[in-house]
Amino acid sequence: MIEEIVFEEEQKNYRNSFLLEDYSYDKEIYNKLVSTADDLSLEIMREIIRINKEKIVRQTALEKSFIISAKVNSNYYTGSFVSVRGIDNLHKGYLISYQENDSLKFINSNFFDTIIISIIFLMITIILLTLIFSNNNRLRFLAHNDQLTEVSNRHHLNFILEKEYERKQRYNSTFSLIIFDIDHFKKINDNYGHYAGDNILKEISSLIQKNIRENDYFGRWGGEEFVIIAAEIKLESAYKLAEKLRKVVENYNFIEKANITASFGVAEIDSAENIDDLIKRADDALYRAKRNGRNRVEIDS
């Protein structure tokens, strides 16, 4: 397909393009296309051109090589338009070829299968990542929290005690430690069962959390024993907090017709002691509360 015919005597050898007014076909080549049965039929080529009409008009205006494709009668075809240039390097026309393209047929026939497989793979990947992140979050939670009550565990409480102790050393601040446990908890398990005992541990954890300050730390020390780290609180204020919590526990109805109480031991950090010393003093105060009749608060000064 050429854009212009230089010699008038050659014009009879060409016929105008049915698609592009500025281009002409070589009659001899055109007649061969019509008569040859082995190659693509003229009807198929016309259909390929019709489907790609807008693209052909747009691309030929640029006078550059390009490729078109089309699906005709369930088969896929490509057309190559190769720009032909003269000795003056100016565009003169196009060398055009059409061929059936099995690779396009394969791609299109498997397109939806590929999309479905990709979506399934993406969903599986998302599910696996979600499970991994969920498990990591759960493991991170269990590393710091008690599995039954979901409050801080002993490991995390020790970490907080160290941080508070460092803050006291650096800024000369203070904090108090409250240790309490549930009175006669073994009898509760014996009389009402371990399921009821576990429920009491969870309920008392929730109850205490609702009745302490936001900057206080609360957790399960072990068994039926719990700890409150009261930041920036002196002994007198810590005693008042413990007494308030004792009354809250005493007045709460954990089990019908069962009087559930707790005993408390309180100590304030001393400038000359370490964390172990503080824990021992608070623990000693707790045992004094038990020896003195339970359901009471004792302080270690």
189-201, pLDDT tens digit by residue?
999 999 999 999 9
Residue 163 CB coordination number (10 Å): 13
Q: Pick the closest to residue 287 from 277, 297, 273 (CA basis).
A: 297
Q: How confident is the model at residue 108 (pLDDT cuts 50, 70, 90)?
A: low
DSSP strand E in the chain: where? 14-16, 24-26, 66-72, 75-85, 91-100, 175-182, 217-222, 225-231, 262-268, 297-300
Structure tokens at 223: 């068994």
Structure tokens at 225: 């024993």
**Average confidence (pLDDT) over 30-40:** 60
**Average confidence (pLDDT) over 249-276:** 93
Q: How many Cα neighbours within 13 Å face the side chain of 45? A: 17
Tell me which DSSP letter residue 10 carries. Answer: G
Q: How many Cα neighbours within 13 Å face the side chain of 215? A: 6
Q: What is the pLDDT of residue 188?
A: 92
What is the per-residue pLDDT across 140-178, written as a single tens digit (0 to 9) for each? 766 789 989 999 999 999 999 999 999 999 999 999 999
Tell me which DSSP letter residue 9 carries. Answer: G
Q: What is the pLDDT of residue 106?
A: 53
Q: Pick the closest to residue 57 from 45, 42, 71, 68 (CA basis).
A: 68
Query: Average pLDDT, whole number, for the chain?
Result: 85
Q: How confident is the model at residue 30 (pLDDT cuts 50, 70, 90)?
A: low
Q: What is the pLDDT of residue 132?
A: 74
Name which residue leads in pLDDT, 171 or 120. 171
* Known catalytic membership, residue 10: no
What is the per-residue pLDDT across 50-102, written as a single tens digit (0 to 9) for each? 888 888 888 888 888 888 888 888 788 888 888 888 777 888 788 888 787 76
- Separation of alpha carbons 227 and 97, rounded Å: 86
Q: What is the pLDDT of residue 245?
A: 98
Tell me which DSSP letter residue 178 carries. Answer: E
Burial environment of residue 130 by CB neighbours within 10 A (0 to 12, 13 to 18, 19 or more): exposed
Q: Mind giving me the DSSP string for 111-166? A: HHHHHHHHHHHHHHHHHHHHHHHHHHHHHHHHHHB-TTT-SB-HHHHHHHHHHHHH
Query: Do residues 182 and 252 make contact, with C-beta atoms less than 8 angstroms apart?
Result: no
**Average confidence (pLDDT) over 13-27:** 68
Catalytic-labelled residue, pool 224, 225, 236, 298: 224
Q: Pick the closest to residue 219 from 209, 232, 231, 211 (CA basis).
A: 209
Tell me which DSSP letter residue 258 carries. Answer: B
Query: Do residues 227 and 157 make contact, with C-beta atoms less than 8 angstroms apart?
Result: yes
Q: Pick the closest to residue 296 from 241, 237, 224, 247 (CA basis).
A: 247
